[in-house]
Structure 1
Amino acid sequence: MGRAKFFWWWRYGLTGLACLFFLSGCHAHKDATPRTTAAARTTITALVWAPDWPQEMLQIAAEFSKLNPDVRVDVQFMIGNSVEENIKPRVAGGTLPDFVSVNPNAYAAELADQGVLADLRGTSAWNNMLTPLKADWTSRRGKGFGISGGVATTMIYYNREMFAKAGITQLPTDFYAFLRVCAQLKRAGFTPIMWSGGFPNMLGNGPFASGFANDVVANDADWRNKMADGTLNLDTPAVADIFAKMALIPERGYVQPAFMTTGYDEGIRLFKEGKVAMAFEGSWSAGSMLHGNAFQTGVFVPPWNARGAQVVPVLGSETGFAVCETPRKAAALRFLEFMAGKGFLILQKKRHNISPFRENAGTAVSDPVIVDYTNAVRRYPVTASPYYSSLPSNTIEYVHGLMQDVLLHKITPALAAKRLDQSVKNEANMHYK
């Protein structure tokens, strides 16, 4: 081969090889495009209040990501004594999660009206929620700001065997009858009731909510509007009675030792192990409270009413779920829909609560005992909301300290009522309504 021909072949051969490499690179680039897209998953943050179902929440997130491989859920659990104390720093710092637990109260409704929480009225989850619950989750401007986690009602669970051994044949129907039952149980050698002084959230859901129901709601049909505009008077003997009853139970020796350090899980364990005869708990704990016990468990309406007065039970929406207005809102809405569908069924395997939805109510696991109790409570002429949807947000946290201070004899019930009244009025003045 001549030098000229060899040069020509070498020159154009390299050019051809370059083209081949270029084309190969083009094809490689095209082939890589789907892999790049698949790797670019959207990660949403879910800040969730799940004191008794953390494993179920992690399972829900994992199942969702299996069905939605383009979305990863970073689950973070709330800590402390309330939902609000977890949300407020995020709002103030601009570090909002994409999916968040919220309560059906004025604070969350105001977040929706301020554009912090998304309007959920266009979702299937909202449309499938029981109609009576929607009012709890509608803001002043008409936005649907959350989906209920269940139909919430509080009750007293009791150990039927202990009651029988103590000779108790009739359930108490007023507070003084309740005290007699406690005295009878104590004489029989049993600790009458569990008091969760170390977890004031349950003090709020239990004796405070029932006290508020029977001492305030029962006597003023317009209490909610008056609380919102600051005209509801809570500096009264009736409100002091709420705190006095709460303190009276341990003063008479009707609670477990070291009750001021008893937390949520420990309180449930004390009941399940037969160390206390009764426990103030919610329908959300039915799965834990009714199953795996060595005894039969019954429930009754907390008799925090005066003798001869109609008892007012607590009934409303449980802590639920909302979506924040973030760049990942669309993915968070998909997770909300899953949470209200297949996710809720996973949740129910642990909790056995009353479903807040129409379509999956028949397939969700619910205990007949709780279903019958809830249906009976719905027929009462007056019911009250849970404390977390009754009180202003800052007052929710404040009342936790008031209850503990009363139990520790740092303040009197009358002073607690006075301070509660001041807090509610201050909140009204600051327009948390």
Structure 2
Amino acid sequence: MCGCQQQDNASSSATVPAKTSITALIWAPDWPEEMLQIAAEFSKRNPDIRVNVQFMIGNSVEENIKPRIASGNLPDLVSVNPNAYAAELADQGILADVGATSAWNNMLAPLKADWTSRQSRRFGISGGVATTLIYYNKDMFAKAGIKELPANFHEFLMVCEQLKLAAFTPIMWNGGFPNMLGNGPFSFGFANNVVAREPAWKQKIGDGTLDLNTPQVADIFVRILLMAQRGFVQEAFMATDYDEGIRLFKEGKVAMAFHGSWAAGLLLHGNPFEVGVFIPPWNAPGKRVVPVIGSETGFAVGETPNKAAAMRFLEFITGEGFSIIQRKRQNIPQFKQVAGTLVSDQKIVDYTNLVSRYPVTASPYYSVLPSNSIERLHRLMQDVLIRKITPRQAARLLDESVKNEAKMHYK
């Protein structure tokens, strides 16, 4: 999935009125400065178009988009996830088809299915190849006497115990930013407890026949809680947001971070210690791990009067402006060819190549669950962590949410 060469991306030939102002609503928790730089550079080269960049807040892309849709205030360019909600917006004519762009033609073929709706509308461009993994502090592991990386969840708990006995906090938990709990332990729990057992899981989520009220799904929440119960996470973990979690790892206050490939540039560099990576061993002993890999949150264009200008901006983000993002993030590009010098950390390249060859893989949770169930899951994980509900109750409530969404929207 990761072959990359240099290319001059073709510009959109669409014309726009003079002095057009477009709105871009962007999900960029770890690269806001780069997005502003891209917008400024685009406007410098395209003086007829001004870009008003607005940043999403909260825990999900969807909770930012829904109020805009409801109020008829659709942005001209917007961050979206490759899921049923965004696909439905495309089929309703709210998001434009980007299939004629050079960005779509250049996107890696395995990602295109994620961005194609039921009615074959191509509704977005991926922001990268997304995978979640565990970053670890090699110095702490060595001082704790850990000589081998864990190969299953039982061994992972033993490693955490060994780190704790050596007076290290084993892992960072984003209790205040449940998006990362979803991307990390929930996605890997779903991969190894559900996807590994049910090959037709994606279809069954869509038609509402996948049973999530099971001990296996409850176990996903059990493991999220277990890390806190055993004292393997930092103090005040329920207040830890996205930026604070990264800072804790970089300052050597936790030994591991369960994070995404999109944060490789931040987590792997500028540290006073060497960082390694490994596949989160959320598998049972004797079972092969099911890794998580798919499309990262990407970009879509709204069906607005400024669509032509927004298409030009999309082409710039994914073309000449792409290197600005990539220098900061150093994740895996979503394109067959890229303009400028490619900057990707070799550890992430090797990791992504490795997990992409696994016979069974799962998708990130934001492309698996219906949009309302994503928001429901965030609350359920937090409620389990504060012991307001049990893992078994969380599984039942998630099952009800997913089935209700299928009944309401996707049948």
TM-score range, shorter chain: over 0.9
SS of aligned partner of 1:203: helix
**Counterparts of 1:403 and 1:315 in 2: how far apart (Å)?**
22
Equivalent residue in structure 1 for 2:86, among 108, 113, 131: 108
Contact 1:355 1:361 in 2 (8 A): no
**Counterparts of 1:72 and 1:49 in 2: how far apart (Å)?**
19
Aligned to 2:306: 328
Task: Tell me the amino acid that sits aligned with residue 264 of structure 2.
Answer: A
Aligned to 1:307: 285
Contact 1:191 1:256 in 2 (8 A): yes
SS of aligned partner of 1:325: coil
Equivalent residue in structure 1 for 2:359, among 381, 395, 409: 381
Larger proportion of helix: 1
The answer to whether structure 1 residue 262 and structure 2 residue 227 are counterparts is: no
SS of aligned partner of 1:100: strand
Question: Residues 30-69 of structure 1: matches in 2 within 5 Å?
Answer: 40-69=18-47
Aligned to 1:391: 369
Aligned CA distance change for structure 1 residues 40 and 379 (closer, same or farther; 3 Å):
closer
Aligned to 1:213: 191
Aligned CA distance change for structure 1 residues 170 and 361 (closer, same or farther; 3 Å):
farther
Task: Tell me the amino acid that sits aligned with residue 211 of structure 2.
Answer: N
SS of aligned partner of 1:430: helix
Per-residue Cα deviation, 1:172-225 (whole angstroms, up to 9, x for no partner): 011010000000000011000000000000000010000000000010000010
**Counterparts of 1:344 and 1:105 in 2: how far apart (Å)?**
23
Aligned to 1:346: 324
The answer to whether structure 1 residue 247 and structure 2 residue 221 are counterparts is: no
Equivalent residue in structure 2 for 1:359, among 305, 317, 337: 337
Aligned to 2:396: 418
The answer to whether structure 1 residue 199 and structure 2 residue 177 are counterparts is: yes
**Counterparts of 1:402 and 1:215 in 2: how far apart (Å)?**
18
Task: Tell me the amino acid that sits aligned with residue 361 of structure 2.
Answer: T
Aligned to 1:190: 168
Identify unmatched segments of 5+ residues in structure 2.
1-15
Query: How far 1:432 moved relative to its partner?
Result: 4.0
Computed over aligned residues only, the root mean square deviation of the Cα atoms, in angstroms, reads 1.2
**Counterparts of 2:293 and 2:322 in 1: how far apart (Å)?**
20
Aligned to 1:276: 254
SS of aligned partner of 2:196: helix
Task: Tell me the amino acid that sits aligned with residue 298 of structure 1.
Answer: G
Aligned to 2:127: 149
SS of aligned partner of 1:101: strand
The answer to whether structure 1 residue 128 and structure 2 residue 106 are counterparts is: yes
Equivalent residue in structure 2 for 1:99, among 63, 70, 77: 77
Query: How far 1:431 moved relative to its partner?
Result: 1.5
Identity of aligned residues (%): 73
Aligned CA distance change for structure 1 residues 255 and 331 (closer, same or farther; 3 Å):
same
Aligned CA distance change for structure 1 residues 302 and 60 (closer, same or farther; 3 Å):
same
**Counterparts of 1:39 and 1:343 in 2: how far apart (Å)?**
23
Aligned CA distance change for structure 1 residues 403 and 72 (closer, same or farther; 3 Å):
same
**Counterparts of 1:314 and 1:345 in 2: how far apart (Å)?**
25
Per-residue Cα deviation, 1:331-350 (whole angstroms, up to 9, x for no partner): 00000000111211100111
TM-score (norm 1): 0.90
Contact 2:18 2:49 in 1 (8 A): no
Count the aligned residue pairs: 396
Identify unmatched segments of 5+ residues in structure 1.
1-37
Task: Tell me the amino acid that sits aligned with residue 386 of structure 1.
Answer: P
**Counterparts of 2:349 and 2:380 in 1: how far apart (Å)?**
33
**Counterparts of 2:359 and 2:395 in 1: how far apart (Å)?**
27
Structure with higher Rg: it is 1
Aligned to 2:6: none
Higher relative CO (Cα under 8 Å, sequence separation at least 6) belongs to 2
SS of aligned partner of 1:171: coil
Per-residue Cα deviation, 1:328-384 (whole angstroms, up to 9, x for no partner): 000000000001112111001111010001111883210000000000001111110
**Counterparts of 2:66 and 2:395 in 1: how far apart (Å)?**
25
Per-residue Cα deviation, 1:281-312 (whole angstroms, up to 9, x for no partner): 00000000000000000000011111110100
Task: Tell me the amino acid that sits aligned with residue 156 of structure 2.
Answer: F
